[in-house]
Amino acid sequence: MPKAGGNEFSYNFFMSGTNGGFQWDNQSQDLKDQGFEFAPIDYQYSYNPAVGGPLVEDKLWFFASMINVRSRQYVLDRFWDLDEPSTPDGVTADDLRAFTWNRSGNYNIRLTHQATQRHKFTWSYFEEPKGGLSGTEFAWAGRTNPEAWYEWDGRPTRMLTGRWTAPVTNRLLLEAHGSFMQADVNTNPVDHGGELRMPRIDWALGTMSASSFQNHHNHDFHRRLNASLSYVTGSHNFKAGLNFANNRTALAFTGPGDLYTGYFFNGFPVGVLVTGNGRQRQGIIQDCDCGIYAQDAWTMDRLTLNAGIRYDWFQSSVPGGTRDAGYFAPALTLPDPVVENIPNWQDVNVRFGAAFDLIGDGSTAVKFSGGRYIANEGTGVTQGYNPIYPYNLLDYRPWTDLNGDATALNADGTPQLDEIGPSNNPNYGLSTITTQYDPNLPRASNWEYSAGVERQLGAGWALSVMWHRRAYTNFDWFDNLNTSAADWHMAGVWTGPDDPALPAVARGVQVPIYITDPGLDIQTGNDFHTVASENSRTWNGFEVILDGELPRGGFMTASVTAGTNKNNFCHRGMFENPNALRFCETRMPYRPMGKLSGALPLPFDTMISGLIQVFPGAPISASYAINAVDFPALVNLGDPDDANPNLEVNLIEPGTVFEDYTTEMQLRFSKVVTINDVRTRFYMDATNITNRARITSRNRFYGGGGVKNPDFLRINTIEPGRRLSFGMQMYF
């Protein structure tokens, strides 16, 4: 429940913080011998004052608060280069550990007006500025060098909301809520001393270097309206309502030279990804993300039934606009609207559940529930149908580095056009919408089922055993109508490396290779967006939870959870490119996880609480980029303009090799001090008590073209070492 103020002025203040002096190094000697250095948090602090009170007694109250958070974190195995102009000022040869930083805030004020005994209005306004320097390792990247990091800024982000509540009777409640939010998010590569650079990605080594492709500027306006009616009698609870959401979003891309990124293979230039002039914002309109629902619950003796039905309507469109000519695409003006009703989804979803008092004494309950859920969507589906949207103009071109400068960008920010080959899309940059939309494409959805038993074991103790299943369907795909699986034939089998650094199951793997007939020109720009009828995903899992009361008002919860999923994403391999059939069907084994948490009040207004977790290790994979050096026939992959085709394969079958299990323990000790009317809680948090170095990610790129990546399986991230942090919360 949001705080609203009251007839007395009250205040609270919260602050917490820590720095690297309160963190332990958890690296092994083996890691240190490899050149790893301690990468703690440099500093982290937050403070949150709040005040509330009356403006008009019994009628109008206010509540206001602010939160500021600042942090700087060293990054494991990443180091600044003193010869690199993007290296921050103040970095010296004595400490080259690279670091990221974050800042965020939340400033809000809330007014509550009790207009009459039964009508209450609440108004609130908040701003949430954010920003930082990000060293995010992308899922497809094995290593991102600091000069390829990016800065981001989320200013302004502001929202205005209003709420009306009216308990018309002691059984009937009416509610309405509306909001408006504006959000701007901007990303830019780090400053390279004013030098404009082309980002570089190496397919074989998985490295990102030189600069970042993050030149995105997003501008969003969100409008929401919710209203509901609740009727509660105790044995019969009914609720019905409606939701309306509308969003207008616009995005710009300001990469120099209209170059998104350049591609290399073991350091050899092979291609570039270009785009149109994206400096003008181009929009998408989410016309309606709407729903109408009704739900009811009946209690009949020992049986409680729940049922609900919801109608969802999701509709979006593309407004017209203008794009000035760029280096690769001509000027273009489109009428308003460009397209409508893409998508135009209408779904009816049902949910039901039952709970039965098995014995009749309220100690044992048998439960079951089921329901259909639809995917949470934004503007992603629609953006593919805007010919002037910058990301619809991403186009791969072959690149020959004629002057040997390892870039296709001139110093003045213009592209080196004589080095960049032609497009393989005959409609590139034109007003033609190159993707056809299937009007019968359904919205992605899943059915979720749960069943289990809850049993009271004694005073304050209970045991719950539950089973869950989720079945996902209605995945979509883009079918290139210029090709089908019939255009491909098996050219042979490639044998992978027999390397002791690989797990036994991944040594000397046999990979069937499919190629097209020589001379076959598979052009892009003729796609059909439709349902992938063969794709599916299921997940089954169970959980056992024991919780209860401890002496002095404490509590404890212990749980074991585990799940397995089966993925079948074979549609593209079956209908378009057979190379996608390898490992298209996978199954992850059950990997149990355990938790034990609780809190125990102690004498003298003190309390100790904690959490112990047993984690399964993360999956391990090994990516290899096969090229013509590995398999000479690979030149026939349907694209005659691609002089350096490659085929990425995983040497390790998914779900077969994992990191080791590990245990993590966290504790909090708190003490309450009361002086007059001021109550202050002091606390100390200790994380990763055992100081384990749980591996959370590795470099998964083995290499390619017969060359092994020297950083293969090198650790990217580990669980932070043992750390103490301190805080206080004051009420007065």
Over the stretch 326-382, which tens digit does the pLDDT of each residue have? 999 999 998 888 889 999 999 999 999 999 999 988 899 999 999 999 999 888 889
Report residue 238 as tokens.
């009914």
DSSP letter for 590, please.
Answer: P
> Within a domain: residue 28?
yes
In which element (H, E) is residue 123 found? strand 120-127
Centroid of chain to Cα 600: 35
Report residue 46 as tokens.
């937050």
User: Which regions of 169-265 does DSSP assign to beta strands (E)?
Assistant: 172-189, 200-202, 207-209, 216-232, 236-253, 259-265
> Within a domain: residue 3?
no
Torsion of CA 77, 82, 83, 84, to 10 degrees: 60
pLDDT band at residue 637, thresholds of 50, 70 and 90?
low
pLDDT attached to residue 282: 87
Over the stretch 28-71, which tens digit does the pLDDT of each residue have? 999 999 999 999 999 999 999 999 999 999 999 999 999 999 99
pLDDT band at residue 643, thresholds of 50, 70 and 90?
low
The contacts of residue 85 (CB under 8 Å, 6+ apart) are 191, 192, 193, 195
More confident residue, 65 or 640: 65
pLDDT band at residue 543, thresholds of 50, 70 and 90?
very high
User: Which regions of 392-474 does DSSP assign to beta strands (E)?
Assistant: 395-398, 435-437, 445-458, 461-473
**Which single residue is written with the structure tokens 């004629």?**
402
CA–CA gap between residue 87 and residue 93 (Å, rounded): 12
pLDDT attached to residue 311: 98
Count the helix, strand and coil residues of the chain and give each as a percent rounded to the nearest 5: 5, 55, 40
Q: What's the mean pLDDT when you consider all of the chain?
A: 92
Over the stretch 700-718, which tens digit does the pLDDT of each residue have? 999 999 999 999 999 999 9
Over the stretch 551-563, which tens digit does the pLDDT of each residue have? 989 999 999 999 9
pLDDT band at residue 139, thresholds of 50, 70 and 90?
low
Centroid of chain to Cα 680: 37
Question: Nearest 5 degrees, angle CA 102-CA 103-CA 105?
Answer: 145
Please answer whether residues 595 and 559 qualify as being in contact, where contact means their C-beta atoms are separated by less than 8 angstroms.
yes
Q: Which of 109, 107, 1, 115 is nearest to 62 (CA)?
A: 109
CA–CA gap between residue 558 and residue 594 (Å, rounded): 8
pLDDT attached to residue 268: 93
Report residue 110 as tokens.
């809330």
| Phi (first) and psi of residue 390, to 5 degrees | -60, -35
Report residue 95 as tokens.
């400490």
> Within a domain: residue 488?
yes
Q: What is the CATH number of the domain that holds 353?
A: 2.40.170.20
DSSP-derived 3-state class of residue 486: helix
> Within a domain: residue 645?
yes
For 46, 113, 204, 562, 663, the CA distances from 51, given in Å and listed in that order, are 17, 17, 56, 44, 41
Amino acid symbol at 697: S
Q: Which of 169, 275, 279, 300 is nearest to 229 (CA)?
A: 169
Amino acid symbol at 228: S
More confident residue, 709 or 156: 709
> Within a domain: residue 2?
no
Centroid of chain to Cα 533: 26
Examine the pLDDT at 133 and tell me if it is beyond 70: yes
Question: What is this structure's pTM?
Answer: 0.89
Please answer whether residues 498 and 508 qualify as being in contact, where contact means their C-beta atoms are separated by less than 8 angstroms.
yes
Helices (H) and strands (E) in the chain, counts: 3, 44
Q: Dmax over Cα atoms in the chain, in whole Å?
A: 88
Q: Which of 576, 482, 578, 476 is nearest to 524 (CA)?
A: 482
Rounded CA Rg of the chain: 29
> Pairing between strand 282-300 and 461-473?
unpaired
Would you say the C-alpha torsion 132, 135, 136, 141 has a positive or negative sign? positive
Domain count, the chain: 1
pLDDT attached to residue 1: 65
Centroid of chain to Cα 502: 30
User: Which regions of 318-394 does DSSP assign to beta strands (E)?
Assistant: 321-323, 332-334, 344-357, 364-374
Amino acid symbol at 134: S
In which element (H, E) is residue 381 found? helix 380-383
> Within a domain: residue 4?
no
DSSP-derived 3-state class of residue 499: coil
Amino acid symbol at 626: I
Examine the pLDDT at 130 and tell me if it is beyond 70: yes
**How many percent of the chain have pLDDT more than 90?**
82
Structural domain boundaries, residue 123: 10-731
Examine the pLDDT at 640 and tell me if it is beyond 50: no
Report residue 35 as tokens.
């050149």
> Within a domain: residue 646?
yes
Examine the pLDDT at 588 and tell me if it is beyond 50: yes
Mean pLDDT, residues 255-267: 94
Please answer whether residues 100 and 48 qualify as being in contact, where contact means their C-beta atoms are separated by less than 8 angstroms.
no
Examine the pLDDT at 542 and tell me if it is beyond 90: yes
> Within a domain: residue 98?
yes
Q: Which of 480, 578, 487 is nearest to 529 (CA)?
A: 480
pLDDT band at residue 639, thresholds of 50, 70 and 90?
low
For 182, 215, 515, 636, the CA distances from 486, given in Å and listed in that order, are 49, 40, 11, 14
Please answer whether residues 542 and 453 qualify as being in contact, where contact means their C-beta atoms are separated by less than 8 angstroms.
no
